[in-house]
């Protein structure tokens, strides 16, 4: 295992995140001779989509599906590319001078990069329903993670709720692994179909529609799918019941595990903390970095590839990683031979086709994004929707003032689980658009580090020399 | 054309406090703020409310300010998170303690009694978590700390309630004499007023330059970091002199670590870039002084942009070139505590032409003499 | 809440002093879920119980004390034989 002391003081390219975008980028750059390091905070590479790809105990290929196993090639390619692949490595700061702060096993280093590719991917959109903080309520992604990486599956009465392709995929994977699902509570608005219809032709040309339809059929054959427009988790200290309804009806379903999901959004924390410009994407209902054709951000030398650049899925992420890496190679080693970026861009365009249809079809309903009353919005500091709305009414104009007034977004997750909700709530109360309200200004360390880790950072020439090998 | 009795440039703690005190005297101030009230140093400083270890020239302002802090809720309708557990200046060696003793004796001779020398036992009683190597220190028992953003907002809110106007997101672009009044050009049109207060913090030199009154102002960005919530273990604010540190646990359990290590400021972009080498030095100081903090996690670090004068004391008082203009800036990373009192003094000065609080030595003229 | 598809638990960790079997390749959070724990921490604000939520490093609800160090993200730390995991109560962390 690589330790902090094993790292060089500087690299041509630092890639942050070992999902498809990061793996593809690091492989391409290292193969043509850029000194390249890839940091990932998880115990292994693969990101979320290929989680546990090099170590999964799931040997039956059909459970996770062929798309999952495609990740193996990316991982092996990266392994032999010459890039240093460092797992268990948490990047906690990146500044505009391209200094990268990283912690490995409790020891910190500052590494100087000539180019940086942020490939920190996506996270699941906050799903703030009453009771979502109860033990027994998790994200669908969490269940998929334990399935892939540990071969661990839900036991007991399991309910899935929400909308989006990943929820259906998870349902199918769990069914194939022999898990019984009590119900699938579908929160997508029926009206989305009409709005999505104009984008159907594109979707029919994409690689996804056949697979998507097959998934839907596979799940619907075994699980009752119930359309809902209200949803909450109830229990005292842990989940006991899922409460749902449409119109005037209300049903209670005894449950041990509720898995929530309504789409994924870019994990913007690191890019935001570097000062890179971001903008609101109204179709995907999230903030995303402002990028050029090579995925370079507004901060020179820093690119954002993969789903962190806007949601497009795993295969598109790899192509984006390659495009960003080609730009880095062209800047640092123009004589090296790289693939024609136009060819990669065409592949990417094909992968991105049909995205609009899915985005609109699975657009989460307003009521599930903008909670009311005592529903917790900020899980870390336990700030409720009522508090945020009331503070917006009394004049609080933006998320950064909200931080100061209510401490929302001030806990260890640094707004990852409340940022979008707080922005949308302020926008609704003040009659503004989320673009006008803006997002939290994020501060490093983007992941908490202990005082001891920070104190371990080599400073001064003598200390730095002592750790350089 | 908008008109006012006083245009206050800058919506920090100083601008908002001056506006409130002017309004309380029946005058109509307009505060012009380029971002929003408390956006910079006033909203994001360490929140120390300290008389301890101040330059002699600003002690009168600090003492008058303290009297206001002690009834802050009466004044602004919000307790501002103010608590009063004292500030302790910790000596890290016998030699340092000897230096502190000399200062405290000197202050007593000048008639200031707020600083009190303490030995090892009293230090341990006040700050049980402090490392054993520290032989004593100085305490100012009436000192405390407050929530800076909440305080600035409370002053802003009460000022508005009392008749002040606060215009945010508007930038001052020019200052011209128009007969008996000043015409303040802004990005939202001109405002005319007989009096102007320059409380523009890190941008105050640009306002002074409009008056042909250049000042040696350095833009600085002192860094702070905060831990996640930890169990309560310390009540007073602790500061050091030999090494840079200010250290305070808030009521919510988080610990704010500062002390004046500087980030790189970019004042035209409202942006700072942190210096992790210096934050590491800060972490090491805490590691040694408070072993209890070693495994605490640091969740955020930031820096607020403000002004430092070459002599580390503020510029307070009338302009030396321009009748009707007053300066109130350059608080050099220790202006938060001074906000309430300086605003009151400034309002008195503007309304009556004189003040009882001595501000000798703080005038802008001191730079012209150099 | 969770069960293993393959019974391959081969290492032993302790959770609040009690031995718990885990598999090489488990993260601490996964091991806790497999062992059927109710919650892994209580919040510093209201004392509410929390269990792992996202398992991908973003939610910080799986914070636990590992080998004496508080506030560690259980979903990012692989288990090791003999590792001592403790439920994190409220603000626990400093001085431990």
pLDDT at site A466? 81
Answer yes or no: is pLDDT of B370 > 90.
no
Return the partners of chain B (3 or more C-beta pairs < 8 Å). Answer: A, C
**Mean of pLDDT over chain B:** 96
Put simply, the answer to whether A146 touches C6 (Cβ < 8 Å) is no
Dist CA B6 CA A398 (whole Å): 29
Contacting residues of B for C95, CB less than 8 Å apart: 129, 230-231, 233, 291-293, 295
Residue of C94, C95, C96 to mutate, interface with B, max B Cβ within 10 Å: C94
Kindly list the structural domains of chain C, giving each domain's residue range(s) and its CATH number in brackets, ordered by start.
11-89 (3.10.20.440)
Put simply, the answer to whether B293 touches A455 (Cβ < 8 Å) is no
Tell me the nearest-neighbour CA distance from A42 into chain B, angstroms.
19
- The residue in chain C having the minimum alpha-carbon distance to the alpha carbon of residue B129 is C95
Put simply, the answer to whether C39 touches A146 (Cβ < 8 Å) is no
Which homologous superfamily is A138-262 in? Answer: FAD/NAD(P)-binding domain (3.50.50.60)
- The residue in chain B having the minimum alpha-carbon distance to the alpha carbon of residue A398 is B36
pLDDT at site C93? 53
Q: What's the average model confidence in pLDDT over B248-276?
A: 95
Residue of C29, C37, C51, C57 to mutate, interface with A, max A Cβ within 10 Å: C57
What is the residue whose two structure tokens read 């109509």?
B28
pLDDT at site B257? 98
Q: Which of residues 14-43 of C touch B (CB under 8 A)?
A: none
**Any B CB within 8 A of C94 CB:** yes
Q: Which candidate from C2, C50, C57 shows the least CB-CB separation from A41? A: C57
Put simply, the answer to whether B296 touches A450 (Cβ < 8 Å) is yes
Q: What's the average model confidence in pLDDT over B136-163?
A: 97
Tell me the nearest-neighbour CA distance from C17 into chain A, angstroms.
22
Q: Which candidate from B36, B274, B298 shows the least CB-CB separation from A449? A: B298
Put simply, the answer to whether B276 touches A448 (Cβ < 8 Å) is no
The pTM (predicted TM-score) of the whole model is: 0.95
**Any C CB within 8 A of A237 CB:** yes
Dist CA A155 CA A175 (whole Å): 12
- The residue in chain C having the minimum alpha-carbon distance to the alpha carbon of residue B227 is C94
Put simply, the answer to whether A101 touches B276 (Cβ < 8 Å) is yes
Fold adopted by A370-431: Arc Repressor Mutant, subunit A (1.10.10)
Put simply, the answer to whether B231 touches C92 (Cβ < 8 Å) is yes
Residue B368 banded pLDDT, cuts 50, 70, 90: confident
- The residue in chain A having the minimum alpha-carbon distance to the alpha carbon of residue C25 is A150
Contacting residues of C for B226, CB less than 8 Å apart: none
pLDDT at site C96? 38
Put simply, the answer to whether A404 touches B274 (Cβ < 8 Å) is no
Q: Which candidate from A110, A449, A451 shows the least CB-CB separation from B287? A: A451
Strand partners, A44: none
Put simply, the answer to whether A381 touches C45 (Cβ < 8 Å) is yes
Tell me the nearest-neighbour CA distance from C32 into chain A, angstroms.
11
pLDDT at site B140? 97
**Any A CB within 8 A of B77 CB:** no
Put simply, the answer to whether C91 touches B230 (Cβ < 8 Å) is yes
Q: Which of residues 439-458 of A touch C (CB under 8 A)?
A: 447-448, 450
Dist CA A426 CA A438 (whole Å): 10
pLDDT at site A469? 57
**Any C CB within 8 A of A333 CB:** no
pLDDT at site B3? 97
Contacting residues of C for B251, CB less than 8 Å apart: none
Radius of gyration of chain B (CA): 20
Name the segment(s) of chain A with CATH classification 3.50.50.60.
4-123+265-338, 138-262
ipTM: 0.95
Name the segment(s) of chain A with CATH classification 1.10.10.
370-431
Put simply, the answer to whether B297 touches C91 (Cβ < 8 Å) is no
Residue of B131, B231, B294 to mutate, interface with C, max C Cβ within 10 Å: B231
pLDDT at site A397? 87
pLDDT at site C91? 72
Interface of C with A (CB under 8 A): 1-6, 8, 23, 25-27, 30, 33-34, 38-39, 43, 45-46, 48-61, 63, 69, 71, 75-78
Q: What's the average model confidence in pLDDT over B56-83?
A: 96
Residue of A151, A153, A174 to mutate, interface with C, max C Cβ within 10 Å: A151
Dist CA A87 CA A72 (whole Å): 16
Answer yes or no: is pLDDT of B202 > 50.
yes
Cis peptide before A445, with omega less than 30 degrees from 0?
Answer: yes
**pLDDT per residue of chain A (469 residues) written in tens, 0 to 9:** 789 999 999 999 999 999 999 999 999 999 999 999 999 999 999 999 999 999 999 988 899 998 999 999 999 999 999 999 999 999 999 999 999 999 999 999 999 999 999 999 999 999 999 999 999 999 999 999 999 999 999 999 999 999 999 999 999 999 999 999 999 999 998 889 999 999 999 888 887 788 889 999 999 999 999 999 999 999 999 999 999 999 889 999 999 999 999 999 999 999 999 999 999 999 999 999 999 999 999 999 999 999 999 999 999 999 999 999 999 999 999 999 999 999 999 999 988 888 999 999 999 999 999 999 999 999 999 999 999 999 999 988 899 999 999 999 999 999 999 999 999 999 999 999 999 999 999 999 999 999 999 999 998 888 888 876 5
Put simply, the answer to whether C2 touches A152 (Cβ < 8 Å) is yes
Put simply, the answer to whether B230 touches C68 (Cβ < 8 Å) is no
Q: Which candidate from C53, C69, C78 shows the least CB-CB separation from A43? A: C78
Contacting residues of C for A267, CB less than 8 Å apart: 58
Kindly list the structural domains of chain B, giving each domain's residue range(s) and its CATH number in brackets, ordered by start.
2-76+148-214+311-368 (3.50.50.60), 87-143+219-308 (3.30.9.10)
Tell me the nearest-neighbour CA distance from B52 into chain C, angstroms.
28
pLDDT at site C95? 43
Put simply, the answer to whether C43 touches A146 (Cβ < 8 Å) is no
pLDDT at site C92? 59
Dist CA B148 CA B156 (whole Å): 12
CATH assignment of A4-123+265-338, among 3.10.450.50, 2.40.10.340, 3.40.50.720, 3.50.50.60 = 3.50.50.60
């Amino acid at each position: 295992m690589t330790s902090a002391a094993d790292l060089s003081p500087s690299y041509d390219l630092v890639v942050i995140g070992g999902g498809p975008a990061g793996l593809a980028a690091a492989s391409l750059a290292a193969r043509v001779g850029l000194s390249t390091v890839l940091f990932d905070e998880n115990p292994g590479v693969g990101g979320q989509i290929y989680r546990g790809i090099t170590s999964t105990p799931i040997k039956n290929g059909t459970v996770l599906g062929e798309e999952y196993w495609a990740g193996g090639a990316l991982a092996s390619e990266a392994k032999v590319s010459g890039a240093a692949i460092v797992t268990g490595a948490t990047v906690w700061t990146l500044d505009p001078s391209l200094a990268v702060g990283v912690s490995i096993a409790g020891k910190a280093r500052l590494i100087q990069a000539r180019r940086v590719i942020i490939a920190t991917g996506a996270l699941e959109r906050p799903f703030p329903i009453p009771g979502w903080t109860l033990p027994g309520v998790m994200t669908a992604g969490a269940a998929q993670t334990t399935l892939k990486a540990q071969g661990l599956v839900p036991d007991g009465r399991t309910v899935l709720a929400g909308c989006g392709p990943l929820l259906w995929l998870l349902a199918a994977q769990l069914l194939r692994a022999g898990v019984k699902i009590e119900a699938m509570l579908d929160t997508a608005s029926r009206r989305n179909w009409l709005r999505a219809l104009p984008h159907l032709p594109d979707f029919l040309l994409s690689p996804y529609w056949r697979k998507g339809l097959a998934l839907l059929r596979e799940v619907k054959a075994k699980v009752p799918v119930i359309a809902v427009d209200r949803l909450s988790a109830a229990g005292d200290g842990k989940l006991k019941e899922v409460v749902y309804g449409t119109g005037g009806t209300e049903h209670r379903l005894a449950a041990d595990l509720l898995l929530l999901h309504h789409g994924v959004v870019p994990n913007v924390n690191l890019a935001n903390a570097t000062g890179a410009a971001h903008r609101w994407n109204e179709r995907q209902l999230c903030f995303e970095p402002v990028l050029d054709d090579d995925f370079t951000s507004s901060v020179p030398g820093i690119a954002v590839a993969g789903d962190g650049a806007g949601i497009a899925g795993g295969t598109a992420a790899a192509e984006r990683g390659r495009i960003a890496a080609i730009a880095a190679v062209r800047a640092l080693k123009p004589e090296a031979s790289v693939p024609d970026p136009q060819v990669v861009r065409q592949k990417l365009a094909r992968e991105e086709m049909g995205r609009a249809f899915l985005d609109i079809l699975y657009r989460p309903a307003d009521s599930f994004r903008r909670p009311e009353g005592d529903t917790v919005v900020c899980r870390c500091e336990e700030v409720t929707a009522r508090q945020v709305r009331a503070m917006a009414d009394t004049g609080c104009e933006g998320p950064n003032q909200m931080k100061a007034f209510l401490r929302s977004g001030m806990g260890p997750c640094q707004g990852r689980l409340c940022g979008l909700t707080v922005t949308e709530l302020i926008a609704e109360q003040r009659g503004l658009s989320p673009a006008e309200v803006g997002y939290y200004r994020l501060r490093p360390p983007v992941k908490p580090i202990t005082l001891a880790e920070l104190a371990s950072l080599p400073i001064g020439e003598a200390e730095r020399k002592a750790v350089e090998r | 054309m908008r008109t006012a009795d006083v245009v206050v440039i800058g919506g920090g703690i100083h601008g908002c406090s001056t506006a409130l005190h002017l309004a309380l005297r029946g005058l109509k101030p307009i505060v012009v703020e380029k971002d929003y009230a408390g956006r910079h140093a006033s909203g994001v400083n360490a929140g120390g409310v300290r008389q301890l270890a101040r330059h002699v020239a600003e002690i009168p302002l600090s003492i008058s300010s303290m009297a206001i802090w002690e009834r802050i809720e009466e004044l602004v309708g919000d307790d501002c998170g103010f608590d009063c557990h004292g500030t302790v200046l910790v000596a890290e060696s016998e030699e340092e303690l000897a230096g502190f003793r000399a200062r405290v004796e000197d202050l007593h001779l000048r008639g200031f009694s707020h600083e009190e020398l303490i030995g090892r036992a009293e230090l341990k009683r006040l700050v049980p978590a402090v490392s054993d190597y520290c032989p004593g220190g100085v305490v100012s028992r009436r000192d405390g700390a407050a929530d800076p953003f909440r305080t600035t907002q409370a002053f802003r809110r009460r000022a508005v309630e009392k008749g002040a106007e606060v215009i945010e997101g508007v930038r001052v672009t020019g200052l011209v004499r128009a007969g008996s009044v000043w015409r303040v050009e802004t990005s939202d049109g001109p405002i005319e007023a007989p009096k102007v207060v320059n409380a523009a913090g890190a941008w105050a030199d640009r306002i002074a330059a409009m008056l042909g009154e250049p000042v040696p102002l350095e833009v600085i960005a002192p860094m702070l970091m905060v831990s996640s919530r930890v169990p309560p273990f310390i009540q007073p604010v602790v500061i050091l002199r030999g090494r840079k540190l200010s250290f305070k646990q808030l009521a919510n359990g988080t610990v704010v670590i500062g002390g004046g290590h500087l980030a790189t400021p970019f004042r035209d972009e409202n942006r700072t870039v942190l210096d992790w080498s210096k934050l590491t030095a800060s972490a090491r100081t805490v590691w040694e002084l408070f072993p209890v903090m070693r495994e605490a996690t640091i969740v955020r670090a930031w820096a607020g942009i403000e002004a430092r004068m070459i002599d580390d004391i503020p510029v307070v008082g009338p302009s030396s070139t321009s009748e009707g203009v007053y300066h109130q800036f350059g608080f050099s990373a220790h202006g938060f505590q001074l906000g309430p009192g300086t605003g009151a003094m400034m309002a008195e000065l503007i309304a009556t032409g004189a003040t009882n609080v001595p501000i000798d030595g703080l005038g802008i003229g001191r730079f012209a003499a150099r | 809440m969770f069960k293993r598809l393959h019974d391959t638990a081969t290492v032993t960790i302790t959770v609040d002093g009690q031995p718990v079997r885990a598999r090489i390749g488990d993260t601490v959070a996964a091991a806790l879920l497999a062992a059927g724990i109710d919650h892994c921490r209580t919040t510093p604000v209201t004392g509410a119980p929390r269990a792992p939520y996202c398992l991908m490093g973003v939610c910080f609800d799986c914070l636990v004390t590992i080998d004496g160090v508080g506030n560690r993200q259980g979903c990012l730390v692989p288990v090791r034989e003999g590792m001592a995991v403790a439920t994190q109560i409220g603000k626990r962390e400093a001085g431990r």
